[in-house]
Amino acid sequence: MKIKAGFIFLLMFCLQACTMSKMAVKPSVEHTKQTTSSKKPRNIIFLIGDGMGLTQITAGMYMNHNRLELERMPVIGIHKSYSIDDLITDSAAGATAFSIGRKTKNGYIGVDSFGKRYTTILEDCAKNNMATGMVVTSTIVHATPAAFLAHQSGREDYEAIAMDFYNGNCDLLIGGGKKYFDRRVKDSINLVEKLIEKGFTVSDYFQEDFENIQIPNVNKYLFFTADGDPLPASQGRNYLAKASKDAIQFLNSKNKGFFLMIEGSQIDWGGHANESDYIISEVLDFNKAIKEALDFAEKDQNTLVVITADHETGGYVINPGSKFGALTTTFSTKKHSAAMIPVFAYGPGAENFSGIYENTEIYNRIKKLLLD
């Protein structure tokens, strides 16, 4: 009897071990059933809170009278953020999963793990005669926006990424990083002048404050909010919400459908700095951009809004003793963590974003809705 029970236990253990090893080699994306919707959006606003895990969202909410615009989003899913060779992704591989639908190596931008370039969702939209744009609070050549318009295996090769931006096709760009365009170390090419020749209207923080301007009714528009990285929100940077609203208006006025990527870039930097206040002020700044996107989508009724993060940063935790408006927090790392990441969706096709799926599915589902 005892031997029999032991045998059954062993058999069950083997069976379980087999199933587990199967799970490990078989990508779970094959098991995900995709619900399809007949209603397709005309526009998409894709918002990425870099490093915005569930705790970052929670902290922003509890420090904001228990309220965030994200609560207006009816559909919620979860994505698995890992990159092809690391359970902990970086922003390059994370954004590339969204932009080309392929897991790649950390540090890679718009290319797969062999360095092969793939057309990004933004480039696909441009090819399909949609208007395209990006608004960020980092430099516009930083990993997240770069993954949508550049193809490089070195995320820090900012001048090469800027050249890809010049050669690419995007109607509107707002973010920092002017120096990678007009004071290039390697080739001394003035890409600002060349972009103007190409039909861009270019302005920057040095000529005018973005807060005081109206985007002119032009063909293509680029505004540099800083020479390098823009300031943190806590030090006075406050263009994200206005830039998001103006970008939506600018792209929508083209009247051909649009793809807009908006990034709250510095939530991640607060995580790396292990500074809770930095994270919270950046989440609340991003929250205002989300409001602009949702206010437009509600009125428009033809716009899909998808909001997610590439990964969590800091292993951020809200500790016992915390209260609304007074959080005690700790961090487990200065780097990113491997936690799965929430996805929020609103608008036509939003129901496609429920469930648990690979980060690459966000590309697949957006592409299916917009371009199939």
Q: Which of 202, 225, 227 lies closest to 212 in space, CA to CA?
A: 225
Q: Token pair for residue 94?
A: 């994370």
275 binds, among Mg ion, Zn ion, none (CB under 5 to 8 A by kind): none
Q: Quick one: 263 or 268, whose CB is closer to Zn ion?
A: 268
Compute the distance between CA of residue 273 and CA of residue 278 in angstroms, rounded to an integer. 8
CB nearer Mg ion, residue 144 or residue 252: 144
How far, in whole angstroms, is CA 101 from its chain's centroid? 13
313 scored as a contact of Mg ion (CB under 5 A): no
Q: Which is nearer to Zn ion, 126 or 143 (CB)?
A: 143
> Which C-beta is closer to Zn ion: that of 57 or that of 222?
57
Helices (H), the chain: 2-25, 54-62, 91-100, 121-127, 143-149, 158-167, 179-182, 191-197, 240-252, 267-272, 276-300, 360-371
Q: Which stretch binds Zn ion (CB under 5 A): 103-111, 114-122, 175-183, 261-269?
A: 261-269
The burial class, CB within 10 Å (0-12 / 13-18 / 19+), for 338 is: middle
Q: Any contact of residue 144 with Mg ion (CB under 5 A)? A: yes
Q: How far is the CB of 156 from Mg ion (least distance, A)?
A: 13
Window of 41-49, 195-203, 263-271, 322-330 that interacts with Zn ion by CB under 5 A: 263-271
312 binds, among Zn ion, Mg ion, none (CB under 5 to 8 A by kind): none
Pick the piece of the chain touching Zn ion (CB under 5 A) from 134-142, 244-252, 262-270, 362-370.
262-270
Instruction: Point out which residues pair with 117 in neighbouring strands.
Output: 111
**Rounded to an integer, what distance in angstroms lies between the CA atom of residue 206 and that of residue 183?**
15
Site for Mg ion in 33-92 (CB under 5 A): 50, 91
The site that binds Zn ion (CB under 5 A) totals a number of residues, namely 1
CB of 228 to Zn ion, least distance (A): 17
CA–CA separation, 72 and 323 (whole Å): 24
Residue with Cβ nearer Zn ion (204 or 268): 268
Residue 268 lies near Zn ion (rule: CB under 5 A): yes
Q: Does 266 bind Mg ion (CB under 5 A)?
A: no
What is the DSSP secondary structure assignment for residue 73, as one 8-state letter?
-
Total binding residues for Mg ion by CB under 5 A? 4
Backbone φ and ψ of 220, nearest 5° = -135, 145
Residues that bind Mg ion (CB under 5 A): 50, 91, 144, 265
Residues that bind Zn ion (CB under 5 A): 268
